[in-house]
Amino acid sequence: MDFEWRGLGPQELEHHYNPRASIGQKRVESYLARFQSQSAEARRQIQGDYDLRYGPAPLQTFDLHKPAGKPPFPTLIFIHGGFWRSLDKSDHSFVAPPLVAAGVAVVNLNYDLCPKVTLDDIVREAREALLYLWRNGEASGLDRTRLHISGHSAGAHLCGMLLNHDWRAAGLPEKPVASAICSSGIYEPEPVIGTTVNNDLRLTLDMARRNDCVARPPRYDLPLTIIVGGAEPAGWIAQSERYHEACRSAGVGLASLHVVAGANHLNLLHAAAADRALAAHVLAQLRAG
């Protein structure tokens, strides 16, 4: 899709780059209530260790759900969305049960939110989380050779920033992540500067460009599944298309783009899970390592 955001007026930018505006507040509240109720039910169904700490900042915590069986387990780190300014790991426990049943451990990650921190701070916290889990996860039964990352919306952006980071200075291998699943990401933050979302984010042009995943694709080849909803605005879909193109151009031959027909920004996770072919693709990716 050939989409150019430069030159759009404020209302058009709001439509294309603020999912709350394009979906509508009442529908957003309904979707988020579903997230919360299903997540509460998930925590009743499966055992977990909650509010474990990976850093000193207030929200540098994670929840861990492990499958039955003998460790070490392949592990998925799930990074929640909310445009770097809202939501919580506890709102996304619902992603864990089917993966735990399939033998995959799930880490639900939290991070501090704007406007208390900046996007630079959040990216740093995400890196600290991966570093902590790679160094310490084996003590909890996690297999660091099968460490996968996934995120939705702002969380997908954070996955992209993790894939571009040079981990060797921290003593990790060049490729600490076995695969990634990125759902409906905001990979180019610059257009968001022109929306009301930036009242909380306080993005500057330099900050947006420093944290641009399209300009900073992964440093290495790996299975990378990029998912976006077919009912999302054209500008938002173009973000995933551009990121996919940038990844392929950078030599990520295993990058694939999947458009889920009829899915919007907030029902995408459920719609993708209900897509049998896509769900099987993701599960095979997690098990392969």
Q: Closest by alpha carbon to 185, among 255, 288, 115?
A: 255
Tell me: the pLDDT tens digits for 107-135?
999 999 999 999 999 999 999 999 999 99
Q: What average pLDDT does this structure show over 62-84?
A: 97
Task: Determine the pLDDT at residue 288.
Answer: 81
Q: What average pLDDT does this structure show over 146-175?
A: 97
105-109 and 73-79 beta bridge pairing = parallel
Q: Closest by alpha carbon to 173, among 145, 133, 136, 142?
A: 145
Please compute, for residue 49, the number of CA atoms within 13 A of its CA located in the half-sphere on the CB side.
12
Q: What average pLDDT does this structure show over 14-23?
A: 97
Task: Determine the pLDDT at residue 193.
Answer: 98
Q: How far apart are CA 1 and CA 163, in angstroms?
A: 24
Token pair 């990844």 is found at 247
Q: What average pLDDT does this structure show over 129-146?
A: 96
Tell me: the pLDDT tens digits for 238-272?
999 999 999 999 999 999 999 999 999 999 999 99
pTM recorded for the entire structure:
0.97
Q: H-type helices in the chain, by residue range?
A: 10-17, 19-23, 25-45, 96-101, 119-136, 154-164, 198-201, 205-210, 234-249, 268-274, 276-288
User: CB count, 10 Å around CB of 174?
Assistant: 9
| Residue 163 pLDDT class (50, 70, 90 cuts) | very high
As a whole number of Å, the end-to-end CA separation of the chain is: 32
> Given a cut of 70, is residue 1 above it in pLDDT?
no
Question: Which domains occur in the chain, in start order?
Answer: 22-288 (3.40.50.1820)
